[in-house]
Amino acid sequence: MSSVQIVWLRRDLRLADQPAFHAAAQAGPVVPVYVLDDDRAGDHAYGGASRVWLHHSLDSLARSLGAHRSRIVLRRGDARQVLAALADQVGAACIHAMRHYEPWWKEAEDELRDALGDDCKLCLYDGNYLLPPGSVTTGSGSPYKIYTPFSKAMLDVMPPRDPLPEPGTIHSPDSWPDSADLQDWKLLPAKPDWAGGISDFWDFGEAAAHDRLDWWADEVADYDEGRNLPSQDITSRLSPHLHWGEISPAQVWHKLKDKRSDGWRTFAKELIWRDYAQNVIDQFPDYPRESYRDYDERKLWRNPDAGHLIDEDLEGWQMGMTGYPIVDAGMRQLWQTGWMHNRVRMIAASFLVKHLLIDWRYGEQWFWDCLVDADYGNNGVNWQWISGTGVDSNMFVRIMAPLTQSEKFNSADYIREYVPELADLSDDCIHDPPDEKRGDYPAKMIGHKEARERALEAYRAAK
Ligand SMILES: Cc1cc2nc3c(=O)[nH]c(=O)nc-3n(C[C@H](O)[C@H](O)[C@H](O)COP(=O)(O)OP(=O)(O)OC[C@H]3O[C@@H](n4cnc5c(N)ncnc54)[C@H](O)[C@@H]3O)c2cc1C
């Protein structure tokens, strides 16, 4: 019998188009393992919503493996130590894993390679992105820093390779190593159980991801116009499935590529944004933690460190109590469902950094904790884009007007859904309710004109 193969799973929780699984299944009996390594990522250890998704996704993958008479071994601790010890225990010839670009995973891969003895090697595979980050380069061979030329270069070499099928047979080892019990990891909240909204809003796992993609194939034609309308369900909502690797971008691309619509063409560019973000963190590993541009940030942000009392403003934003209905609807959608519509993410993020002049990193951390699709690359790149501090970003002086945006993108029904205090207001006044119609809903934290002037003044001082 050929020797045991370990598949080290991370954000690649699928069986089809999973090159690490594919290679392992062809080489010998397979031990799939997931290691919960909370310390390694530091301030980017999985947040609350991510842990809920992870629980359900692991549970779903375990059931799929069960149908192949296989299992998933769960272990907790330092990934390098756990995997090296497991390789020793089962006599593995190879640990197969998909490549990941978060700096702590790149470091873990290097450490693991060094820790493995001569009898076991680490084999890394690409496939969580359309193309391996860093592989599309400028004429001079450097990685791209700016999205638009990156996107053009990507489109020139698309489509991605054909997706791989699910392994037909997955042989088991003679005996299974011990596994932790998923329930004992307590990834789901208990007291209080705040995750009900997430479970109601989502179906988890590989099969659910493909169901959503099947649905999306009939809707994508409307994406070009519909993607900015929060009241309507005209975006794919594939982001957590892609983030957790329940579906690959190549599978998505090949399913949709023959749709000859503006909707598909625009959607393809959004998938490329996802690749772009990985290219950015591959070049600048601390990008989600450090501003790229050289502002005097002490003069830009109203930080607690700089002696300002911003806690109440930050909490009001987090809880959806800013007095701006579109911002509050978004922040409450995030809290309830673990997801927020992209247009509203932009408006809510801009409100934090420009209207409240709060450092983007507070927003990045809140989203990190609350999003089911919280992604080191996508979250950091988008926050820096909005805050005007990034390598490729919106200029700081472009300040989004939340009330105008709300009206322009017909957000009335979205506000009614997530801000029930305002549900009875007419389309005319729901975007900016007059004082006498607000009832228990709070007054605006700060007027738009005043906020705009304050932000421009801070920018002039900081640049
Ligand atoms: C402040 C801020 C923070 C964000 N944080 C995250 C995050 O942590 N994780 C995340 O996946 N996305 C993030 N986004 C990007 C975007 O909002 C979400 O990807 C999108 O809303 C997910 O919904 P969807 O699947 O319906 O997207 P669709 O509009 O259907 O797009 C399809 C896919 O393309 C990718 N995509 C779309 N827009 C972007 C984008 N701007 N940047 C990178 N990839 C994109 C996603 O994988 C998405 O699933 C953030 C945006 C902002 C403004």
Distance from Cα 29 to the centre of ligand 1, integer Å: 37
- Say if ligand 1 is within 6 A of residue 332 CB: no
Could you give the CA distance from residue 326 to residue 348 in angstroms, rounded to a whole number? 8
What's the 339 CA to ligand 1 centre distance in angstroms? Answer: 10
Q: What's the confidence (pLDDT) of residue 396?
A: 84
More confident residue, 302 or 112: 112
Residue 303, pLDDT > 90, answer no
Residue 271 CA to ligand 1 centre (angstroms): 9
CB 93 within 8 A of CB 5: yes
Number of alpha helices (DSSP H) and beta strands (DSSP E) in the chain: 20, 5
- DSSP label of 31: E
At residue 397, the pLDDT reads 86
Q: What band does 305 get if pLDDT is binned at 50, 70 and 90?
A: low
Query: Does the model's ipTM exceed the 0.90 cut?
Result: yes
Pick from 287, 382, 384 the residue to mutate for probing ligand 1's pocket: most ligand atoms within 8 Å of its CB.
382
352 in ligand 1 pocket by Cβ < 6 Å? no
Assess whether the C-beta atom of 271 lies below 6 angstroms from ligand 1: yes
C-alpha gyration radius of the chain = 23
Instruction: Retrieve residue 344's tokens.
Output: 């509203």
Q: What is the pLDDT of residues 371-395, one digit of tens each?
A: 999 999 999 999 999 999 999 888 8
Q: Considering the chain, what percentage of its residues have pLDDT values greater than 70?
A: 98
Angle (nearest 5°) at CA 14 between 11 and 15: 140
Mutate which of 213, 241, 373, 392 to test ligand 1's pocket (most atoms within 8 Å of Cβ)?
Answer: 373
What is the reported pLDDT for 298?
87
* Nearest-angstrom CA–CA distance, 52 and 338: 10
Q: Per-residue pLDDT for 11 more than 80?
A: yes
By the 10 Å C-beta count (0-12 exposed, 13-18 middle, 19+ buried), 98 is classed as buried
> Does position 433 have pLDDT exceeding 80, yes or no?
yes
3-state secondary structure at position 14: coil
Q: Whose CA is nearest to atom 19 of ligand 1?
A: 239
**Average pLDDT score over the chain:** 96
Whole-number Å distance between alpha carbons of 338 and 367: 9
Short-list 27, 58, 18, CA closest to 165:
18
Q: Report the share of the chain in percent with pLDDT over 90.
A: 92
Q: What integer pLDDT is reported at residue 454 of this predicted model?
A: 95
Q: What is the mean pLDDT of residues 137-166?
A: 96
Q: In terms of pLDDT, which residue wins out, 165 or 302?
A: 165
pLDDT the model gives residue 310: 85
Specify the ligand 1 atom closest to the Cα of 236. 30
Q: Contact 49/198 with Cβ under 8 angstroms?
A: yes
For residue 274 and ligand 1, the question of a CB distance below 6 A is answered with: yes
Residue 1 has pLDDT above 70, yes or no: no
Question: Would you say residue 260 has pLDDT above 90?
Answer: no
What is the CA(308)–ligand 1 centre distance, in A? 32
Judge if the beta carbon of residue 372 lies within 6 A of ligand 1.
no
pLDDT digits (tens, 9 = 90+) for 37-48: 999 999 999 999
Cis before 192? omega within 30: yes
Q: Which atom of ligand 1 is nearest to the CA of 276?
A: 43
Map out the domains of the chain with their CATH numbers.
Answer: 4-125 (3.40.50.620), 129-162+204-283 (1.25.40.80), 297-462 (1.10.579.10)
Q: Report whether residue 237 contacts ligand 1, using a CB cutoff of 6 Å.
A: yes
The token pair that represents 171 in the structure block: 């042989």
**Distance from residue 229's CA to the centre of ligand 1 (Å):** 15
The verdict on the CB of residue 269 being under 6 Å from ligand 1 is no
Which pLDDT band holds residue 307 (cuts at 50, 70, 90)?
A: low
The residue whose CA is least distant from atom 30 of ligand 1 is 236
Does residue 6 carry a pLDDT above 80? yes
Q: What's the pLDDT tens digit per position in 309-344? A: 688 999 999 999 999 999 999 999 999 999 999 999
Ligand 1: nearest atom to the Cα of 374: 8
Quick check: CB of 278 below 6 Å from ligand 1? Answer: no
Query: What pLDDT is recorded for position 309?
Result: 63
Query: Does residue 344's CB lie within 6 angstroms of at least one atom of ligand 1?
Result: no
Structure tokens at 438: 């607000």
On the question of pLDDT at 308 being above 90, the answer is no
